[in-house]
Amino acid sequence: MIMKQNNFTKNIITGISIALLSAVTLSGQVNDLKNSDMKKIDTKEFPALPYAYDALEPYLDARTMEIHYDRHHRAYFNNFVNAVKGTAMENTPVEQIFAEVSKTGEAVRNNGGGYYNHVIYWENMGNKPSKPSDELTAAIEKAFGSFDKFRETFSNAAKTRFGSGWAWLYLTPDKNLAVGSTPNQDNPLMDVSPIKGTPLLTIDVWEHAYYLKYQNKRPDYVEAFWNVVNWDVVNERYKEALK
């Protein structure tokens, strides 16, 4: 399952092949970024959802999943592809684009974020039993006091994000766990974001993520989300982020 999810990540976020890149700045100049093993973006194929539309029933209904994935996410992907086509960004790892997204314009920021964030979201959900690893549990307890407190903090971040956006559990650059939220399609990898780090777990709180089933009751959707978190993926992200 984990391997399947990892493959999904590679295909969706950054491409079929893992390419060692000479890091190219958005202006086309070569620099010596340490993250030379970032994966190359594949902007040629919209990746598959890692489960059926009804897999997360009854918590997330199939109709919502279909519209969300096949219309909203696909549109972000297509618009992102068009925004980077013919520029140096076409061959730049998406994480690197986000690190300088303030220079790229709104189309790349909004559609690149919309493309990437939904991948993280689909992937950190599933319908198989899972739980936080011992390592992640210990880190959560250290950062938040208890798992319940973490869950409450994350849920509150999701419930109180004004308008549209995302809530995140992320690993800060100094390797601590933190929770926060971002507006619109921003994420913690972006230089424009006040919260910065590596995404570990996210929830989409745009109305399109829940309105058909939950209408205006975002808190009910947020509570339902906990039933479909794929901790195997979150555990793996945490392990990778610590390296």
Q: Rule CB under 5 A: which residues touch Fe ion?
A: 204, 206
Chain residue at closest Cβ approach to Fe ion: 204
Kindly tell me which of 123 and 204 has the beta carbon lying closer to Fe ion: 204
Report the nearest approach of Fe ion to the CB of residue 73 (Å).
7
Report the nearest approach of Fe ion to the CB of residue 56 (Å).
14
Q: Could you give the 3-state DSSP secondary structure of residue 183?
A: strand
Kindly tell me which of 38 and 233 has the beta carbon lying closer to Fe ion: 233
Kindly tell me which of 21 and 83 has the beta carbon lying closer to Fe ion: 83
Report the nearest approach of Fe ion to the CB of residue 46 (Å).
15
For 84, phi and psi rounded to 5 degrees?
-95, -10
Contact between 196 and 173 (Cβ < 8 Å): yes
Residue 159's alpha-carbon distances to 43, 92, 202, 208, in angstroms, are 33, 34, 13, 15
As a whole number of angstroms, the distance between CA 124 and CA 233 comes to 6
Report the nearest approach of Fe ion to the CB of residue 26 (Å).
26
Helices (H), ranges, the chain: 2-9, 62-67, 74-84, 94-99, 106-123, 134-144, 147-160, 211-214, 218-225, 231-242
Report the nearest approach of Fe ion to the CB of residue 182 (Å).
13
Number of H helices, E strands in the chain: 10, 3
Q: Which residues of 148-175 are buried (b: 16+ CB within 10 A; e: fewer)?
A: eebbebbbebbbebeeebbbbbbbbeee
Kindly tell me which of 116 and 206 has the beta carbon lying closer to Fe ion: 206
Kindly tell me which of 76 and 238 has the beta carbon lying closer to Fe ion: 76
Q: For the purposes of burial, counting CB atoms within 10 Å of the CB of 187, is it exposed (0-12), middle (13-18) or buried (19 or more)? A: buried
Report the nearest approach of Fe ion to the CB of residue 238 (Å).
23
Longest dimension (CA), the chain: 50
Kindly tell me which of 144 and 206 has the beta carbon lying closer to Fe ion: 206
